[in-house]
Amino acid sequence: MDEEILTEEALILNDIRSHLTTFEKERGNLIPILQMIQEKHAYIPREAIKLVAEYLEIPVCEVYGVATFYNQFRFHPPGKYPIKVCLGTACHVRSGDIILENFERKLEIKEGETTPDREFSIERVACVGCCALAPVAIVGETVHGHMAPSKVEGLLLRIRIEKEKQEREKLTISGNN
Amino acid sequence: MSKIRTQLMLCGGTGCSATSPAVREVFEKELERQGLSEEVQIVETGCNGFCTLGPVMLVQPEGIFYQKIKPKDVPEIVEEHLLKGRPVEKLFYVEPASEETIPTMNEIPFFSHQMLRVMRNKGLIDPEVIDDYIARDGYFGAAKALQEMTPGQIIEEMKISGLRGRGGAGFPTGLKWEFASKSPGDIKYVLCNADEGDPGAFMDRSILEADPHAVLEGMIIAARAINSHKGYIYARTEYPLAIRRLTIAIQQAREYGLLGEDILGTGFDFDIEIYEGAGAFVCGEETALMRSIEGKRGMPRPRPPFPAQKGLWEKPTILNNVETLANVPQIILNGGEWYSGVGTETSKGTKVFALSGDVNNIGLVEVPMGISLRTIVFDIGGGIPNKKEFKAVQLGGPSGGCVPEQHLDIPVDYEEIAKVGAIMGSGGMIVMDENTCMVDMARFFMDFIQDESCGKCTPCREGTRRLLEILNRICEGKGKPGDIEDLEELSSVIKESALCGLGQTGPNPVLSTLRYFRDEYEAHIYEKRCPAKRCVALLKFEIDPDLCSKCGACFRHCPAEAITWKKKDVAVIQKDKCIKCMTCFEKCKFGAIF
Amino acid sequence: METIALIIDNKKISCPPGTSILEAAQQNGIKIPTLCYHPDLKPFGACRLCLVEDENTGRLMASCVTPVAPNMSIRTDSPDIKRHRRNIVRLMMAEHPESCIVCNKGNRCQLRAIAAQLGIGETKLYSMPNYKPLEQANEFIVRDLSKCILCGKCIRADHELVVVGAIDYNHRGFISRPATVHEQPLEKSNCIFCGTCVSLCPTGALSPKTEYYVGTPERESRSVCGFCGVGCSVTMGVVGDQIAEVSPSHVRTSVNGSTLCVRGHFPHEFLKAERLTQPLLRKDGEPAPASWEESLEIVSTRILDIRKQYGPQSVAFIGSSECNNEEAYLFQKIARVLVETNNVDNPRAAYTQAVLRRIDEKTNGRCRKNPLARLENGDAVFILNADPGEMNTVASFYLKRGSRKGVSLVMANPVRTELTAFSSAFLEIRPQSEFELIKGIGALLYEEQATENGCASPEMQQRSLFSDTDLDKVCQAAGVNMDSLKQAANVLRGKKVSVVTGDEIMLAENGAETVNALLELMAMTQSLGKEDTGFYVLAKACNETGAYDMGLLPDALPGRQLLSDDSARKHWEDTWKVRLSPDQGLSAVRMIEEAEKGNLKALYILRENPFEILPDPDRVRKALENLDFMVVQDIFPGELTEMADVVLPGAAFFEKGGSFTNMEGRIQVFEPVVSPPGEARQDWEILGHLTAKLGHSEPYDSVEKIKQEIARVIPMYSEDGRTYGDWIR
C-alpha cells in the first residue's frame, strides 16, 4: 500500500511540476497554486510544498504555514467517497453534529480521517449554503439533504451497492470482450 | 427572438440546483416534443429566494409560481399550462396557515412583505447574459458615474444615501470611500468581500449567482470614486456556481467595454480579478483578507494604519461586501435621496437576510430597514414548523447574538439590534424553536470561533478555547458553580482586549445566551438537566410511559436493537445496548423519550 | 520638529509622531508589561499584555502597536487594565505545563516574572496543558513547544533579523505553533542554529542546550565575541568560574543587536576543551610545571642572550590576529623596542591585511570606517568571491535584510552560496578571474557614463582602466556569458555600490590589481568614501584590523604607517626613544626559512599555530626543531606546546580585558568575564611582566595603562586625545 502511494505521489509531483509554469512567480500566486494542486489531486503531497517553495523562491516553512492555515487544503489522500458533513448553523440547529457522529460510528473513523481501505473519508465543513435542506451531507459532489440519524446507514449502503453494481458491470463488459 | 411568448424562469440557485437540472432536461424534451421550443424559452436564474420550496419556477409574463417541481410533473405543465393555457393547480403554493392556494408569486406572503432592491433582478434575468442585465437599466449607474459625475460627487451621493456596510459592522460606505480617495498614492485597490463565512448565511452567494453584474457595476463606481484601476473579488472557493457566473460576467463586461481600458470611452481604466479564498473565517476580517490575497497566512494586523491608508500591498484600499456594492448602482442612478427614503433614522435602504433554521419558509429575503423581526419570522417566514414554540432568533452568526420572544418587535436597525445584544451582521438569521438548547448553541458557535481563531492574540486563542472548554463541560453534565462567572469574566476580557473584530465579537454568543437564557445554563449546571433535550450527555435515554403511544416506531428504527417493544406495550430502552445515536428521539412523535 | 503632546499616567509627555504609546511610556520611565514586544522586531500586537486605556474614549488598546495621538490621556494601570492583564496571564498559565521548578529558563522566564508581578498563583481554571513533544536531538537548541505562548518573537527573528526561513506558524488557533515544514526537527530544516530565537524567547519554549548547568546563571557580564571579525556584543552567563551560556547582549548600537551565530552562541567545544593552566619549562627534555617568576626569567634571559650572541635578527615574534589590541601593541613593542628587531608578524590575516593596506594607500585612509548598517540601507552591493554566511554570519544577516528591503545584490563567486538566492544577479565565475570580471562590469558601466557625460570629461579619462576592455575576452576568462554580465552591470547601473570581498581575491597573482579595480569601480560609480557605502573585507579572526593598526607586521608600524617611511619611523623613534631599523623584518614564512637555515635562533609564538596556517607542516616542524629557543604563549595544549622550551598559559578572550577592532573598524572595549583557569594569566599581563624583565622602565601593570599609551601614540585610536571610543576617528 505504501509503495502504491509513493508511485502515485511521483506521478502527482510530475503533474504539479508541469502545471506550475502556468503561474507567474509572484507571492500572490501561492494560494492559487495550492488550490490548483488541491483541486487536481484532492490533497497536497509533502514534497509538493517544497516544489512550490522552490518555484516561488520563498521559504518552504512559509508555504507550509500558509497551506496549514486554510481549511481547504488536505495533506492526506481522501477516500474514494469523501463524505462532508455540514456543520453550519442551520445544520447544527437540526442536529448536524449527530449526523457526523453517526457517520463516524458507522465507518469507525474520526472526521479528518480516511478508512483503511481508502474508500471513505469524513470531513466536517462549514456552511455549504444549502440551509433549506438542513441537515446536509455531501458525498462526492452529490448533496444529500434532510439527513437524519436513521438515514446514515442507508446512505452508506446505497454507495456500496452502487459501487458493486459498477464493478459487476465492468466485469460483464470485460467478460463480453 | 420575437416568437417567444413565454419564459420559464427556472431557479438554478444552489438550494435548487440539486434537482433543477433534471427538471430542465425533461422540460427541454417535452417542449421539443410538443413543438414549443421556439415559443417557450427556459431561463436558468439565480436564487429565487424561496429555497424551502425548491425547485421553483416562475412562468413569465403571467407570474404563475410553481413549487417543488419533480421531473414527472413536467409533461403535465407543458401539456396543460403551456399548450392549453390551464395552469397546474396542484403545484401552486399553499399557505400553511390558511391552506389557501396562491397561484402568482407576488401574492405569496413570503414575497409580498419584501422590498427588492439588491435582489430586484433575481429570478427575472439570466445571470449569464449581460444583455438581460442591461435591459433592466444595468450599467446605467456606472455610465452616469463615469460620464457625468466627479469622484467627489459620487462620494457625496453615497454619503447622502446613508448606505452602511452590509458586512456587519455598518460603517458608512461613503465615508470609507472618502478616506481612501484622500489617501495619497497612484495605486489603489477596490476589494469585494465575497468570503461569506458565517455558518447559516448565503446572501452574498445568492446575489452573486442571481445578479453578478450588479456587483461589478458597484465596484466600477467605487473605483471611479477613489481612482483605483484594479479590483479583486475575494470569493469563497466553496461557491463554484457564484465564481463561474462572476467569471462569465467579468468576461462579458470586458467584451462590452465596461471593464478594462478606457471604459465607455471615458478614459477611465479598471479591471477586476477573482481571488478564491481558501477557507478561513478570519479572512472576512479586512486586514486578514488582504494578507490572504498577498499569499500569506490570513492573520489580522493591528489598525492603524487603516486599509484606506495602507491596505493591500500597503496601498490605499477599500473593502466592501457583496450586498453593499450591489446597492451602489441604484444609489447613483436614482440618487442618494431616493435611497434614504426607506429605512429608519440611522439605517437606510433594505437588508437581505438568509432566513433558516426552525422556520417554515427557509430562504432569502430582502426587507426594508425598520421592519420588525416578528414580521420577518412569522409573516415572511411563515412561523415555526410542527406547531412548536418559538424560542429565539439568532442574528449575525458567530459574532452575533440571539433575540428572544420579548424583543421580537424591535425594528431592523443597526442600533436597535445592538441594544438587545445582537448585531445586524451580514444577514444570517436563524430561527430556533423550543428544542434548541441555548447552551449547546453557544457551544456550537464557540467551537466554530475557536477553530477559526487565527491564533495570533492571546485572548482570542486561549480565551475562546477556554470558553469552549467550560461550555463543553456544562453540556456534558460536568458544570460546576463558578462556571457562569468564569464565562462572563473571560468574555469581557476577550471582547475588550482581542486584536481583531473576530476575537472582539467572539464571546457574543455566550454573552447573549447568558443574558436571556441564564436559567438554561443553571439547569445544566445545578440540575444536570437539558431543558431542550438536546445535550446527549444529559439525556437519560428512558421512555416516559405516560407519553408513550406504544406505536413501536422507536423499536423499528433502533439500529442497535436496544429497544424492546411488543404491541400495545410501552417500549423500553436497554441502556447497556444503547449507542445514544438519537434515532429514537428523531422517530418518536410524542416526545416520550427523555 | 513636529511633536505630539499627550498624557500618560498623569504625566505630560511629548514625542515625535509615529512613536508608539509603549515607546513613549518607556522613554519616560513608565513601565508597561510586554511579552511579544521587542525593539528590534516589528511590533506585532499579539500578547495584548501591554493594553492601556485612553481615558477620553474609554478605549483599550495594545500600546505596542498604537501610535500616539494628540491629546490622548493614557492610563497604563487602571483597574480594568489590571484585571484584563491578570486574566490574559491566567489564560496563558492555564495552558502552560507546571514545570517551573525544573525549567531551564528559571528566574529569567518573563511569563513567570509577569505572573508574579500581577500576583497570579493559581489560575483557578482547569489546567489544559498543550503538550508537544520535547525536541532536543540537535546539540544546540532545546525546543519544548508546550511552553510556547505564541509571542511570535522566534518567527519574527527568523524572518526579520536573520532572514533564514526555517520556521513559521503552522495551522491556526490553539494548535498553532512556530514550526518547521511538516514539523520536522530543526536539524532537518534550514535552521542555522544562530540561536537568535533562543535569546528572544520569553519562556522555556526555546533554551540553549547545555551540559554544564541547568538554571539561571549567577551573574551575567558583557564581552565581545572573539570567534570572528564581526565583533558581536555578547552577554555571558557565569556559574562559579564557568561560562554557562552565551547570548547576544541586545544592545541596539552593537554590531549584532539581537542576533548571533552558532559559533558565538554555542561555543561548547571551545569551553569544554582542556586548557593550559600553568607555565611549563622544558627540563631534561620534558615539559615540567614551573613558576611564573622562573619561566619569565628564563624567557627574558634566553632572548637577551641570543640577541647578544647572534644579533637582533636572530630573534622573531609570531603574533596573532586573535590577540587584542593591547597585546598586539605590546608584543610588537617588545620586538621593536626591547629586542630591536622588526621580525614580527601575524600570518593568519596576511591576505586580508594586504587588501586593507591597498585600500588604505589608495584612499589615504578615507575608507577605514565601514559600518555594516550601510549594507542594509544602501543602494547596491557587489559581493566578489566571498561567502559572508560562512565567514562572518552576522554580516550576512545585514546583506539578507538589505536584499529584502530592496538593496540590489550582485554576486560573483566560483560557487553558489546561501546569498545566491538573495542576489539580483549571480555570476558563477572561474577562480582567480576577479580582475577580468570587474573590468568587464566596469567597462559596461563606463560606456554608459562616458556617453552620458561626454567622453571629454577629464574625470572619465582618468578612469582608463575600463576604457578599452574586450568584453568577449572578459567573458571567456571569467567563464560567464555576456547576457549575465550585462544583467549584473544593469543591476548596478546608476546606483551607489558597496563592495564585499574576502582575502581569496589575493590568491590570484594580480590580487593587488583586483583591489585597485574594485576601488576604481567604486570611484566611477561615485561610491568611494561616501556616507552610505563601504568597502567590506571579511575577517575570519576577531582582530585582523586591530593587528594591522597595532603594527603587528614586519614592514609596518602602529597607526598603519610604513616602516620604510622615514618620517613615520622618526616619529616612532621619538615616541619610543629608540633607534628603529629601517629594514623590513622577517615575515612568518621567512622566519621558517631562516630557522631552517639556522639563522633564526629564538621564536616567540603568541596565540598562533604555524602548522595550521603556514604551508607544509612537516617543513615547519623541522624548522622549529632547529631553533635554540621557542616560547609558546597559548591557551590550549597541543603539538606546538609539546615542542616549546617555555609554555606560558594565557587567557581566552572572555577572560581578559582589552579591545578588538572589528571588520567595520569599530573599536570595542571589554572587561574580563571570568578569571583564566589555574595559574593562567591575561596575556597583556604576561607581556607586561616580560617588558619589565627585558628592561623596560615603565611597568605595564594594568591594561588601562596600555590603552592610554595606544590612545596617546596612535591618533586613530584616540578620541579628543583621551581614550579611544567606539570608532576609528
B213-257: pLDDT as tens digits: 999 999 999 999 999 999 999 998 888 889 999 999 999 999 999
- The number of distinct structural domains making up chain C is 4
Domain boundaries, chain B: 6-106, 130-340, 350-433, 438-526, 540-594
C171 touches A at CB < 8 Å? yes
- Residue A176 predicted with pLDDT over 60: no
B363-376: pLDDT as tens digits: 899 999 999 999 99
User: Cα(C568)–Cα(B120) distance, rounded to whole angstroms?
Assistant: 94
The pLDDT mean for chain B works out to 93
C88–B302 C-beta distance less than 8 A: no
CATH number, position C500: 3.40.228.10
Element (H, E) at B4: none
B503 grid coordinates: 476575537
User: Cα(C62)–Cα(C35) distance, rounded to whole angstroms?
Assistant: 12
What is this model's ipTM?
Answer: 0.90
All residues at 6 or more sequence positions from A141 whose CB lies less than 8 Å from its CB, including other chains? none
Q: What is the CATH number of domain B6-106?
A: 3.40.30.10
B42-74: pLDDT as tens digits: 999 888 888 888 889 999 888 899 999 999 999
Fold of B438-526: de novo design (two linked rop proteins) (1.20.1440)
**Between B356, B432, B445, which is nearest A131 by CB?**
B356
Same domain, yes or no: C686 and C594: yes
Query: Helix-strand-coil percent breakdown of chain A, rounded to 5?
Result: 60, 10, 30
Same domain, yes or no: C284 and C268: no
Q: Between chain A and chain C, how many beta carbons pairs sit less than 8 Å apart?
A: 41
**Using a CB-CB distance cutoff of 8 angstroms, which residues of chain B are in contact with residue C45?**
301-302, 457, 499
Distances (CA, A) of B166 to B206, B274, B347, C534, C678: 15, 20, 11, 56, 77
Q: Which residues of A are annotated as a binding site for [2Fe-2S] cluster?
A: 86, 91, 127, 131
Cβ atoms of B361 and B48 within 8 Å: the answer is no
C215 touches A at CB < 8 Å? no
**Using a CB-CB distance cutoff of 8 angstroms, which residues of chain A are in contact with residue C167?**
61
Same domain, yes or no: C442 and C498: yes
Comparing alpha-carbon positions, the chain B residue that sits nearest to A145 is B18
Percentage of residues in chain C having pLDDT higher than 90: 82
Residue A140: helix, strand or coil by DSSP? coil
Looking at the DSSP bridge assignments, the partners of residue A120 are A81
Q: CATH 3.40.30.10: does it fit domain A81-176?
A: yes
User: Cα(C361)–Cα(C167) distance, rounded to whole angstroms?
Assistant: 46
Before B87, cis peptide (omega within 30)?
A: no
pLDDT of residue A109: 92
User: Cα(C694)–Cα(C299) distance, rounded to whole angstroms?
Assistant: 9
What are the helix (H) ranges across C238-337? 262-265, 268-272, 292-310, 325-333
**CATH entry, B130-340, from 3.40.390.10, 3.40.50.300, 3.40.50.11540, 3.40.50.620:** 3.40.50.11540
**Torsion of the alpha carbons at B408, B409, B411 and B414, rounded to the nearest 10:** -40
C179 touches A at CB < 8 Å? yes
Per-residue confidence band for B500, with pLDDT thresholds at 50, 70 and 90: very high
C227 grid coordinates: 570567534
pLDDT of residue C126: 84
User: Which residue segment(s) compose the domain that C202 sits in?
Assistant: 125-272
Per-residue confidence band for C84, with pLDDT thresholds at 50, 70 and 90: very high
Select from C533, C551, C568 the last residue of a domain: C533
pLDDT of residue C728: 40
Residue C340 lies in a domain: yes
What mean pLDDT is predicted for residues B421-435? Answer: 92
Distances (CA, A) of C57 to B175, B500, C52: 21, 18, 12
Same domain, yes or no: C313 and C260: no
Cα angle C556-C562-C563, degrees, rounded to a multiple of 5? 70
Same domain, yes or no: C423 and C332: no
B296 touches A at CB < 8 Å? yes
C172–A60 C-beta distance less than 8 A: no
A148-160: pLDDT as tens digits: 888 898 899 988 8
Before A59, cis peptide (omega within 30)?
A: no
Same domain, yes or no: C397 and C297: no
- Residue C183 predicted with pLDDT over 60: yes
pLDDT of residue B2: 54
A 21-60 residues with CB < 8 A to B: 26-32, 34-35
Distances (CA, A) of A39 to B48, B237, B281, B289, B343: 30, 11, 20, 21, 44
C411 grid coordinates: 554576486
What mean pLDDT is predicted for residues C529-550? Answer: 94
Same domain, yes or no: C493 and C529: yes
pLDDT of residue C265: 94
Q: Which of B579-593, C278-292, C517-531 has the lowest mean pLDDT?
A: B579-593
- Residue C721 predicted with pLDDT over 50: no
Per-residue confidence band for C212, with pLDDT thresholds at 50, 70 and 90: low
C585-624: pLDDT as tens digits: 999 999 999 999 999 999 999 999 999 999 899 999 999 9
CATH number, position C242: 3.30.70.20
Same domain, yes or no: C596 and C639: yes
Same domain, yes or no: C381 and C528: yes
Select from C77, C96, C114 the last residue of a domain: C77
Q: Which of B159-173, B411-425, B493-507, C444-458 has the lowest mean pLDDT?
A: C444-458
Per-residue confidence band for A2, with pLDDT thresholds at 50, 70 and 90: low
Q: CATH 3.40.50.1820: does it fit domain B350-433?
A: no
Same domain, yes or no: C501 and C556: no
**CATH entry, B540-594, from 3.30.70.20, 3.50.50.60, 3.40.50.620, 3.10.20.70:** 3.30.70.20
Per-residue confidence band for C454, with pLDDT thresholds at 50, 70 and 90: very low
**Between C88, C126, C172, which is nearest B455 by CB?**
C172
Cβ atoms of C625 and C600 within 8 Å: the answer is no
Per-residue confidence band for B507, with pLDDT thresholds at 50, 70 and 90: very high
Q: What are chain C's partners, defined as 3 or more CB pairs within 8 angstroms?
A: A, B
CATH number, position C602: 3.40.50.740
**Between A89, A105, A150, which is nearest B199 by CB?**
A89
How crowded is residue B265: how many other Cβ atoms within 10 Å of its Cβ?
A: 9
- Residue B128 predicted with pLDDT over 90: yes
